[in-house]
Structure 1
Amino acid sequence: MRLARLLPLMMSVALAVPVIAHAADQYVPLQQRMSPEEFKAAGLDKLSPDELKNLDGWLSGHAKVTTKMVDQAGKPVFYPSSEKAGPIQAHVQGSFTGFSGHGEFTLDNGQVWKQADTARISCLTSNNPKVTIRRSLMGNWMMAVDGCNDTTSVVRTK
């Protein structure tokens, strides 16, 4: 199915739309925002007129992004300079049995993280297991604990 193969491309376009669209209140169709060369290079020339219309319709409703932090020049800041953006590796203090949907985890580096989702994930009980916390593509933090086959979204509380 041609449209299914273009899904990653469409998602890339959807994420790029806010940058391209400057702050316009009205949606501008892709063909008007892209040069013919860019349009063809993105493979959008292979879409039927109806498929292109549907893509434009979807993008018009999903193209707005609110940036909460900007630098002095007004450009978006995705990682505050005071917060480490790379992976964090430490050990959970004490016994770990899994994610309860509301757990709070104190690490041996002094940080405290709280589960941000309500996922209940059972894991083998372990004492002071190694933990890796890293940013996902969407910007939230994901916690992985050695001996547990799943990850969960977390927020730092301390």
Structure 2
Amino acid sequence: MRHAAPLLALALFTVTGAAAAQGFSTVEERMSATEFREAGLDTLSEAQLQALNAWLQRDRRCVAADAAMDSRGLRAEALDDEADIVSTLPGAFTGWQGGEVFTLANGQVWRAIDPGSALRGVNLTNPRVTISKGLFGAWRLKVEGYNASVKVERVE
């Protein structure tokens, strides 16, 4: 019971940034090992962790509503919001060569539209990404720890 308050705070935070309708990724997949440890989740039993993931999966309707409300990159009236979009790419990530579609953990879907840009030789799991608004309304996706970015457009 002593983990209830941090666990509830983490659950609420995780629900707002979780994957939407595409597929469910567990809290372990969504967080880095450091984040997982700092949140105290490494002290949970396997049963407690399974219960948390089951609850998150059942309560994904909150995620879909949050993702739908964030229209940055989709509609012209949303382009005034210049705040970075920070999320993760659930699962394995091996880079890009142009034309890839990126489904973020927050439910947003972006497509690489910079055919000359490439990031090769990468082998990451659940990397943190930042999508920033650039010049003339363009958006760029950057993977944490790499000095490369690709021009993207929002698909969903």
TM-score category of the 2 structures, normalised to the smaller one: 0.3 to 0.5
Higher helix share: 2
TM-score (norm 2): 0.47
- Return the index of the structure with the highest Cα Rg: 1
Structure with greater contact order relative to length (CA < 8 Å, sep ≥ 6) = 2
TM-score (norm 1): 0.46
